[in-house]
Amino acid sequence: MSALPPPEWTVSPGLVDYPAALADMEARAAAIHAGTAGERIWLLEHPPLYTAGTSADPAELLDPRFPVYDAGRGGRYTYHGPGQRVGYVQLDLAQRGRDVRAYVHALEGWVIDALAQLGVEARRAEGRIGIWTDDRDGREAKIGAIGVRVRRWVTLHGFSLNVAPDMTHFGGIVPCGIAEFPVTSLAELGRPADFAAVDAALADALPAFLDKLAASD
């Protein structure tokens, strides 16, 4: 496993159109499977939109004020928009351990480790996917979402981390189907990290994430 080259690290400026990103991701996954392209970590921002996972309940789309797209990933409704770091993680699990559960666990751990570098104590929550922390009122709140798809052992989609988005935009959905807990961001926690700081923390925590995948094989 140690002989694998590191994934390509790509950061897109500006706002990336969701359908174009989805098509790019699908094409890259096919190329990774075919052996004609390497793995990739793709960091970007989207314009305001909602995505529906394969378990999305139409009743949880409260106000479709933004475009709604079928994402093809697992999970329910998720918001993406400016001020949110989206990470599309495209790895070849045939080379890194054919264990989807271990992959999702490691992906959560990667974001948690990056948040620790930014001064945020984040964690997993039993029975609730995603990244959780305590907000300024001491309530458990979601700061990051996880949604993945694995096709022919190549991963698609990944995570989103709330840096400083417009939090009112989450009001159009029941985020990830969880109504009883609020959503928060780095800015709301009083830690207004910019994307450069977030990306640097993710890059620093990346080797440990990849090592966990190698260990799961």
* Closest C-alpha among 44, 23, 32, 34 to residue 5: 32
Rounded distance between C-alpha atoms, residue 189 and residue 163, angstroms: 10
∠204-31-21 over CA atoms, to 5°?
65
- Say which of 112, 145, 176, 189 is annotated catalytic: 176
* Closest C-alpha among 194, 135, 144 to residue 164: 194
The continuous run of DSSP H or E covering 198 comes out as helix 195-216
Q: Would residue 55 show up in a list of annotated catalytic residues for this protein?
A: no
Rounded distance between C-alpha atoms, residue 173 and residue 208, angstroms: 34
Rounded distance between C-alpha atoms, residue 98 and residue 210, angstroms: 13
Token pair listed for 200 = 């640097």
The continuous run of DSSP H or E covering 43 comes out as strand 40-45
- Side-chain half-sphere CA neighbours of 169 within 13 A: 20
Q: Which residues are part of the catalytic machinery?
A: 176
